[in-house]
A = this chain, B = another copy of it.
Amino acid sequence: MSGTSLDGIDVAIVEINGHRVETIGFQSTPYSEEVRRAILAVSNTTTTTREISRLNFHLGELYASAVQRACRRYGPVELIGCHGQTIYHQGGANTLQIGEASVVAERTGVPVVSDFRTRDIAAGGQGAPLVPFVDCLLFRHPHRTRIALNIGGIANITVIPTGIAFDTGPGNMAIDALAREYTRRRQNFDRNGRIAARGNLNRPLLDQLLADPYYRRKPPKSAGREQYGAEFVTHLIETGLPLPDLIATATVLTAATIALAVTTSVASYAPTDLIVSGGGAHNPQILAHLAAFLPGVALATSADYGIDVDAKEAIAFAILAYQTWRRKPSNLPSATGARRPVVLGKITL
């Protein structure tokens, strides 16, 4: 997996037996500054066809190296799922991931499933989100309604087993930006929620932020980077409040908007468990607020279910690849809006 955060390449080595999924290993390989710049230079902008073609093959080499490094440590694999790097995405219309699967297959000698999003769009869907299918597969329970919550830059939930999935609002994005500001770029995030713990919640500011109509809008809905990006953070800083107070307030906002979604949009499903993954699962402040906001819901991290909170997305694309290999559909029309379940991706032998 390599996400739009451009951190780099996450490799999860997974053993799948029917519905049993075991994580054998997980390894991250950061992109070099040069590669990060090259990806930004072709993303959603003016470029040359030559540069896209070159980068497609170059990323293929990087993916192959990352897989080979993980396999040297954790042993060989039989199938690779490769999400690729999204350089353009317009849900419902078209999408473009690069990172040549032929290069990955040729270097590793292992079949590759790639290009997962195009078929869902061809079937009328948004091409995203694709992870809810995996949430349902991993966390389904015969009697309980569970919610899988991923706290990345944006926070999103999947209701299990119904497969309803949407963005609840901010995840770590604003907290991270404020923590960078507070630590003068020595920290990229609020490690263990320590800064938030030192600050005080500013109730008027929280109320003002919660007034955003997004939180009361019915799903399906999705929140973009632009919603909680530079402009949002500048607005917070301009209040003149101490940064720890802003971080504390942003932390509560994340938990409160998640809780709002659980207690309003999906309350009718009577969820019993909330299973947290993503970077936010490392933040005890977010978890504590969630527990306080949702007294009737059992809180756990995906690690409690055997799924490393950081590896979950990479694990998801291993599972999606396995589905495709067995010729099984793996989009959830309830999550993507597609007309029907379809077999995702392309197979390179």
Beta-carbon contact of B48 and A96 below 8 Å: no
Number of copies: 2
Number of interface residues of A (CB under 8 A): 45
User: How far is A93 from B345 in the complex, measured between Cα atoms in Å?
Assistant: 25
A5 within 8 Å of B by Cβ? no
A106 within 8 Å of B by Cβ? yes
A208 within 8 Å of B by Cβ? no
| Interfacial residues of chain A within 234-272, with CB under 8 A of chain B in the complex | none
User: How far is A327 from B347 in the complex, measured between Cα atoms in Å?
Assistant: 11
User: How far is A288 from B107 in the complex, measured between Cα atoms in Å?
Assistant: 49
Beta-carbon contact of A106 and B94 below 8 Å: no
Say yes or no: A54-B102 contact (C-beta < 8 A), given A49-B47, A119-B348.
no
Binary contact readout A306-349 vs B (1 if CB under 8 angstroms, 0 otherwise): 00000000000000000010010000000000000011011111
A45 within 8 Å of B by Cβ? yes
A17 within 8 Å of B by Cβ? no
A50 within 8 Å of B by Cβ? yes
A10 within 8 Å of B by Cβ? no
Looking across the interface, which residue of chain B has its beta carbon closest to that of A338? Answer: B106
Indicate which residue in B57, B103, B346, B349 contacts A101 across the interface (CB closer than 8 Å).
B346
Looking across the interface, which residue of chain B has its beta carbon closest to that of A118? Answer: B102
Binary contact readout A149-165 vs B (1 if CB under 8 angstroms, 0 otherwise): 00000000000000000
User: How far is A103 from B125 in the complex, measured between Cα atoms in Å?
Assistant: 12
Beta-carbon contact of A42 and B53 below 8 Å: no
Chain B residues whose CB sits within 8 angstroms of the CB of A96 once the complex forms: 49, 52-53, 56
Chain B residues whose CB sits within 8 angstroms of the CB of A45 once the complex forms: 48-49
Chain B CB within 10 Å, residue with most, of A48, A94, A327, A345: A94
Say yes or no: A48-B46 contact (C-beta < 8 A), given A118-B103, A346-B101.
yes
State how many angstroms separate the Cβ of A311 from the closest Cβ of chain B: 26
Interface of A is mostly: mixed
Beta-carbon contact of B94 and A56 below 8 Å: yes
Beta-carbon contact of A102 and B88 below 8 Å: no
A302 within 8 Å of B by Cβ? no
Chain B residues whose CB sits within 8 angstroms of the CB of A102 once the complex forms: 115, 118-119, 121-122, 346
Chain B residues whose CB sits within 8 angstroms of the CB of A346 once the complex forms: 101-102, 114-115, 346-348
Looking across the interface, which residue of chain B has its beta carbon closest to that of A44? Answer: B49
State how many angstroms separate the Cβ of A182 from the closest Cβ of chain B: 35
Show the binding face of A for B, using Cβ within 8 Å: 42-50, 52-54, 56-57, 60, 87-88, 90, 93-96, 100-103, 105-107, 114-115, 118-119, 121-123, 324, 327, 342-343, 345-349
Going nearest first, the 9 A-B pairs with the smallest beta carbon separation are A106-B122, A102-B118, A346-B346, A53-B96, A102-B119, A57-B94, A53-B88, A347-B347, A343-B349
A-B contact pairs, 26 of them (CB 8 A): A43-B49, A44-B49, A45-B49, A46-B46, A46-B47, A46-B48, A49-B87, A52-B88, A52-B96, A53-B88, A53-B94, A54-B94, A57-B94, A94-B100, A101-B118, A101-B346, A102-B118, A102-B122, A102-B346, A103-B122, A105-B119, A106-B123, A106-B342, A119-B348, A345-B348, A346-B347
